[in-house]
Amino acid sequence: MAVKVSLKVNGKAVSAEVEERTLLVTVIRENLRLTGTHVGCDTAQCGACTVSMNGKAIKSCSILAMQAEGADIMTIEGVAKPDGTLHPMQAAFKEHHGLQCGFCTPGMVINAIDFAKSHPNPSELEIRDALEGNLCRCTGYHNIVKAIGAGARAMAGR
Amino acid sequence: MGAPLIGASVQRKEDYRFLTGAGQYTDDVTLANQSHAAFVRSPHAHAKILKISSEKAKKSPGVVAVFTGDDLAAAKVGGLPCGWLITDVNGQPMKEPPHPCLAQGKARYVGDHVAVVIADTLQQARDAAELVEVDYEVLPAVADAVKALAKGAPQLHDIAPGNCCYVWALGDKGAVDAAFAKAAHVTKLDFINNRLIPNAMEPRAAIGQYSRADESYTLYVSNQNPHVERLLMTAFVLGLPEHKVRVVAGDVGGGFGSKIYLYAEDVVVTWAAKQVNRPVKWTADRSESYLSDAHGRDHHTVAELAMDKDGKFLALRVKTTANMGAYLSTFASAIPTILYATLLAGQYTTPVIHVEVTAVFTNTAPVDAYRGAGRPEATYVVERLVETAAREMKIDPAELRRKNFIRQFPYQTPVALLYDIGNYDATLDAAVKMADVSGFASRKKASEAKGRLRGLGYACYIEACGIAPSAVAGSLGARAGLFEAGEVRVHPTGSVTVFTGSHSHGQGHETTFAQVVADRLGMPIENVDIVHGDTSKILFGMGTYGSRSIAVGGTAIVKALDKVIAKGKKIAAHLLEAAEADVVYDKGVYKVAGTDKQKMFGEVAFAAYVPHNYPHDKLEPGLNENAFYDPSNFTFPAGSYVCEVEVDKETGRVTIEKWVAVDDFGKIINPMIVAGQVHGGIAQGIGQALTEACHYDASGQLVTGSFMDYCIPRADDLPNFEVDTRETPCTHNPLGVKGCGEAGAIGAPAALMNAITDALGVKDMPMPATPLAVWTAMKNRKAA
């Protein structure tokens, strides 16, 4: 059975006809063709599919599209300003070489932005703890940790 | 022009697209009318395939086709080739069993491809794959290489009796035996280099497309070397004309070796695209990656180091059993031989070395190159032995190393390599200082006061990178050349597009290579773009692996740049009415020496494309040059790592308190990117030593098949890294570069295990040093 799902994605009202079993990440990637949200595993471990739902970072592989009915979603495509200027967290990742292959990056950035809202000046330990649900195989996290610290402080205007 | 570009931490050109979700990985590609493939995989490690019934699957909604091994055989689709022929100790070729793209007659590992279902949607393909009925006769299986060699072990391939692929040896056995006979001390270790699963964050993916209009194929694939992929697939498997196949490897989300190879899925989607006359897309889920990506390492080794009474190394004897998995993957046979045995001299003057390698088939996924590929295993052998010898002989481990360092270059090792240059004292001295080794004793005391154990370990690694001289590789069994190609296309208005056969999947070539180009031409980096990953755009390429990109691919670009500059000189001489010999090129300007006459690079480029005033009698119009570069030797990056750990006596948990890495990569183009490569390599090396263990049970089931069972390091498993470099420029390439991609993964496991065994006061313990393994080692030590 197909069902209709309506949500707001990156500020735009959208809807899609999907099977009930369809995951939110599938709607984002396949129906809306927003391919910046990635799928890196099938056990909710890697965090590459992280999006912001109603202001909170969630793993879009772990929720049915139907459960997101009416939600306000932000994907990586909606993070930079409309004129293309990078968000302070994105800029910090670039500045500190916090990405290599780029596959985990969208999930990292979305999670980091959510984390930074409650941690305007995080310690290294707090950042490493906050990355428990986001895997990276390229960077050894060293520069991601630096980037998130700098991004959080930039967001807080420090 | 501003500051010099070589040696500058230029921010990456590729970052904006990755940071904004604009990367285009293979699964992000959607083609009109595409269908989706789901593979039926063997749930058994070893089984005869008696019958496959696909009738129900074919009737399932949306199903377009179901294919099995019989269909491929009927269509004369060949098996997957191995690119490196090893000749055994008796002069016989290694055993090369057929490697069908869909199993024929037998499945030989859990995850082996048995059938493929193609349907309109992915869910329909997966639903229908569940309906394919396969009658298996389950056979006894063997996953462990040593057990597979035993009498009575299950046999995988008729052509490989005893499951033996080859027994291969290198070095002078007689001389080694003689040296051992007069040794004052012998240190012996018997250990396992644990099997690893690469786990690039982007799972493999492939989309095959066929056009009846011109009988051409396009394969979009997550791959590190698209030209090699095309060559292998067209020439050895599908028998297609090479010019009718385009391979596109766009953005690739990490590789670490696992995406070098031609995989069955790549062939099947390409072949099937013509059969169903629609694009066929397949993307691995992570479970499939665990089962079917080529794994790494998996050695069992007995190694002995002979020394005189002062600790001078006299000889090294190594015997290794290497697990190949069920079939030979693309470069599998070369890893435990050419890329392992030849590195066993390490940084030392050990005069004689003998190594014997037995390669074995088992009921496991194929094993091939994974970051470091043979070199981490060699470093582990040498550096665990050296550290253990130092403890046994009560010599400071750094001192024992210094006593045996190679200091005269070039240096011919007893295991075939000629090191061109190095300075091992420089990296070790720097690492000792950075790690404050002299303060270790007081830190150890402080740890003890807290009830914790503290240990310190070194590793001084060497690697052979920049593969290779093709002639050397060929003499060692390579069935391909190992050069690289580059093309510099100067546009009429003076900006430049550079095409490289190297491939970037995280390494940042689009930036590093652009720095090289902009520096050499003397132009802003914004005027340079680097293109890679598409056989229809790039003239040719051997791709990226073995830390070869800058040393081989970068040099090919430099050669092409020099041709551009030389041609431009001829054009400038004509425009300036000067003798060519009087024209010099300096930072973007052609000048007539000793005069104020000059032409900008852009003016010369324009003249080449608008040749109204042009030396037509001497030159063709246009400014576009390419070059192929085949190096005269490997490059030899080397370095010293120092690691300090604390161990919780109650839980066995290891925490890394300090990590210092001092590497010599020769000249460095972009220090920021190089440091990032070192961080990532060390993280994977720490993963091997601390958290990662691929485990097959006795029946051949993979029991570590997800991120929940196979632990790749998370942020809180790792420390910050203190990294630095020392520089001895490579002597045989114009940039003086050596390569940096694998060093961390090569040096880290030995350093960490040396530190842990130091803390525990044990001679050896297996990797990974999980809390349970450490706790067990402590308990056994108490009991002893």
Tens of pLDDT, residues B619-667: 999 999 999 999 999 999 999 999 999 999 999 999 999 999 999 999 9
pTM, full prediction: 0.97
Label residue B472 by pLDDT band (50, 70, 90): confident
Alpha-carbon span B67 to B521, nearest angstrom: 53
State the pairing for strand pair A50-53/A72-74.
Answer: antiparallel
Q: Give the residue from B14, B124, B201, B288 with the most A CB atoms within 10 Å of its CB, the best one to mutate.
A: B201
Percent of chain B having pLDDT more than 90?
Answer: 97
CB atoms within 10 A of CB B559: 19
Q: What is the DSSP string of B388-434?
A: HHHHHHT--HHHHHHHHB--SSSEE-TTS-EE----HHHHHHHHHHH
Does the pLDDT value for residue A10 go beyond 60? yes
Alpha-carbon span B66 to B37, nearest angstrom: 9
Residue A110 near residue A151, CB atoms below 8 Å: no
Phi then psi for residue A91, to 5 deg, are -60, -35
Residue B125 at interface with chain A, using a CB cutoff of 8 Å: no
Where does CATH 3.90.1170.50 sit in chain B? 17-139+201-254+259-292
What interface predicted TM-score (ipTM) does this complex get? 0.98
Q: CA of B733 to nearest chain A CA: how many angstroms apart?
A: 26
Residue A95 at interface with chain B, using a CB cutoff of 8 Å: yes
pLDDT in the model for residue B1: 47
B299-467+633-783 maps to which CATH number? 3.30.365.10
Does B30 sit within 8 Å of A33, measured CB to CB?
A: yes
Label residue A141 by pLDDT band (50, 70, 90): very high
pLDDT tens for each residue of B541-578 = 999 998 899 999 999 999 999 999 999 999 999 999 99
Does the pLDDT value for residue B582 go beyond 50? yes
pLDDT in the model for residue B782: 83
Alpha-carbon span B719 to B642, nearest angstrom: 13
Does the pLDDT value for residue B252 go beyond 80? yes
Does B680 sit within 8 Å of A36, measured CB to CB?
A: no
Does A129 sit within 8 Å of B202, measured CB to CB?
A: no
- What is the average per-residue pLDDT within B297-312? 98
The H or E element that residue B722 is part of is: strand B722-725
pLDDT tens for each residue of A102-140 = 999 999 999 999 999 999 999 999 999 999 999 999 999
Label residue B426 by pLDDT band (50, 70, 90): very high
Where does CATH 3.30.365.10 sit in chain B? 299-467+633-783, 483-629
Does the pLDDT value for residue B11 go beyond 90? yes
Residue A115 at interface with chain B, using a CB cutoff of 8 Å: no
pLDDT in the model for residue B168: 98
Q: Where are the beta strands (DSSP E) in B272-332?
A: 280-283, 299-307, 313-325
| Average pLDDT across chain B, whole number | 97
Does the pLDDT value for residue A80 go beyond 60? yes
A34 to chain B: which residues are within 8 Å by CB? Answer: 21
CB atoms within 10 A of CB B58: 15
Alpha-carbon span B730 to B190, nearest angstrom: 35
Alpha-carbon span B631 to B736, nearest angstrom: 12
One-letter identity of residue B89: V
Label residue B784 by pLDDT band (50, 70, 90): confident
Q: Which CATH class is domain B483-629?
A: alpha beta
Label residue A26 by pLDDT band (50, 70, 90): very high
CA dihedral A133, A134, A140, A142 (to 10 degrees): -90
Domains in chain A, ordered, with CATH? 2-78 (3.10.20.30), 88-155 (1.10.150.120)
Residue B32 at interface with chain A, using a CB cutoff of 8 Å: no
Does the pLDDT value for residue B172 go beyond 80? yes
DSSP-derived letter for residue B11 is P
A21, A48, A100: residue with CB nearest B680: A100
Q: CA of B457 to nearest chain A CA: how many angstroms apart?
A: 20
pLDDT tens for each residue of B738-765 = 999 999 999 999 999 999 999 999 999 9
Percent of chain A having pLDDT more than 70?
Answer: 100
Label residue B2 by pLDDT band (50, 70, 90): low
Tokens of B591: 């000048």
Q: CA of A147 to nearest chain B CA: how many angstroms apart?
A: 13
Fold adopted by B17-139+201-254+259-292: Aldehyde Oxidoreductase; domain 3 (3.90.1170)
Residue A36 at interface with chain B, using a CB cutoff of 8 Å: yes
Does the pLDDT value for residue A1 go beyond 80? no
- What is the average per-residue pLDDT within B693-698? 96
Percent of chain B having pLDDT more than 70?
Answer: 100
